[in-house]
């Protein structure tokens, strides 16, 4: 595996692969790898000739009171894990490399970027789509690999790819979970043992919602209130939002129909956790 730190070197390395007709898969990350990241890497390795993973904690997607400074970082461990997974290139640019001058041009994530997580993290999705579009312009991959855990990020990026004609195929991989159901996230490392024991309540409540829907419930308010009750009963979590939305447009649904996303964000202690399920109703 090559570790590359500059855009120029990465472009040079990939131009050679491209000229040989190699298919390039790309996994954008902020590092502190867990099994979810590794599953994205493995999916890319399986489908492509060359897999590029970027590791960049992107400052413009963090709000002023968010966890940019304390976001977990361990380059040695990450580089060992990426190498063991079979990644070809780990791209680790500095902030100066990605943002050499103050940025004057951003990509707007549109209406979908202001909903759900965007409502309490203003500017977050603008930061995400801006860095992802920069990375796509640098890597020019054939396929981009994202995790379903960040369902809103997936949909916002899919719309950006469509609206701005990026010639890339977006592949979405299932959420990787701990044995007790907690969705894997680099931020889980912030949880104290007591908080960690409470955190699976979010997924348990989502699974209960799935069962309610399978049993015929369609009223989104009833489903939301049951999720709220299940999370609040077993934890000290403060709920940021619980929403049933249409998967394609993120519009709030009163009655579950078609492809719906049920998404939750909750704070356990000071850690903000998100999770979701997709339900398909005929």
The residues that touch ligand PAF, with contacts defined as CB under 6 A, are 28-30, 58, 61, 128, 131-132, 150, 153
Rg (CA), the chain: 19
Q: Least distance in Å: CB of 79 to ligand PAF?
A: 17
State yes or no: is 140 an active-site residue. no
The tokens describing 201, both together, are 């309540």
Residue 218 CB, nearest approach to ligand PAF (Å): 32
Q: How far is the CB of 16 from ligand PAF (least distance, A)?
A: 25
Residue 116 falls in which region: left (phi positive, over 0), alpha (psi -120 to 50) or beta:
left
Q: Is the dihedral of CA 149, 153, 159, 161 positive or negative?
A: negative
**Under 8 Å between Cβ of 60 and 130:** yes
Q: Give the C-alpha separation, 282 to 278, whole Å.
A: 13
The least CB distance from residue 46 to ligand PAF, in Å, is 20
C-beta closer to ligand PAF: residue 131 or 231: 131
Do 61 and 128 meet the contact criterion of CB atoms below 8 Å apart?
Answer: yes
CB of 58 to ligand PAF, least distance (A): 4
The smaller minimum CB distance to ligand PAF, of residues 14 and 131, is found at 131
Q: What are phi and psi of 18, to 5 degrees?
A: -65, -40
Q: How far apart are CA 68 and CA 215, in angstroms?
A: 42
Residue nearer to ligand PAF on the CB measure, 61 or 253: 61
Nearer to ligand PAF, 35 or 251 (CB): 35
Which residue of the set 34, 37, 140, 208 is catalytic? 37
Which CB atom, from 150 or from 195, has the smaller least distance to ligand PAF?
150
Q: Pick from 263, 237, 18: which is nearest to 118 by CA? A: 263
The SS3 call for residue 265 is strand
* Residue positions annotated with a catalytic role: 37
């Amino acid at each position: 595996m090559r570790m590359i730190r500059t855009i120029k070197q990465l472009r040079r390395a990939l131009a050679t692969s491209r000229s040989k007709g190699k298919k390039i898969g790309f996994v954008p990350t902020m590092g502190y790898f867990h099994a979810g990241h590794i599953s994205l890497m493995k999916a890319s390795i399986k489908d492509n000739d060359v897999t590029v993973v970027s590791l960049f904690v992107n400052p413009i997607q963090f709000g002023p009171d968010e966890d940019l400074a304390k976001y977990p970082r361990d380059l040695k461990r990450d580089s060992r894990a990426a190498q063991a997974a079979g990644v070809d290139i780990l791209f680790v640019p500095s902030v100066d490399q990605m943002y050499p001058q103050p940025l004057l041009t951003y990509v707007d994530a549109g209406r979908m970027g202001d909903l759900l997580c965007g409502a309490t993290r203003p500017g977050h999705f603008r930061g995400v789509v801006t860095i992802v579009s920069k990375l796509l312009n640098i890597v020019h991959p054939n396929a981009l690999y994202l995790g379903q855990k960040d369902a809103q990020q997936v949909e916002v990026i899919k719309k950006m790819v469509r609206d701005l004609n990026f010639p890339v195929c977006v592949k979405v991989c299932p959420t990787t979970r701990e044995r007790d159901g907690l969705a894997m996230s680099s931020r889980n490392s912030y949880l104290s043992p007591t908080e960690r024991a409470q955190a699976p309540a979010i997924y348990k409540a989502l699974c209960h919602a799935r069962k309610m829907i399978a049993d015929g419930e369609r009223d989104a308010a009833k489903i939301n209130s049951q999720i709220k009750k299940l999370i609040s009963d077993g934890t000290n979590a403060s709920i940021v939002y619980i929403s049933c939305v249409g998967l394609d447009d993120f519009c709030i649904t009163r009655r579950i129909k078609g492809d719906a996303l049920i998404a939750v964000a909750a704070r356990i202690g000071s850690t903000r956790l998100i999770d979701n399920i997709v339900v398909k109703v005929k």
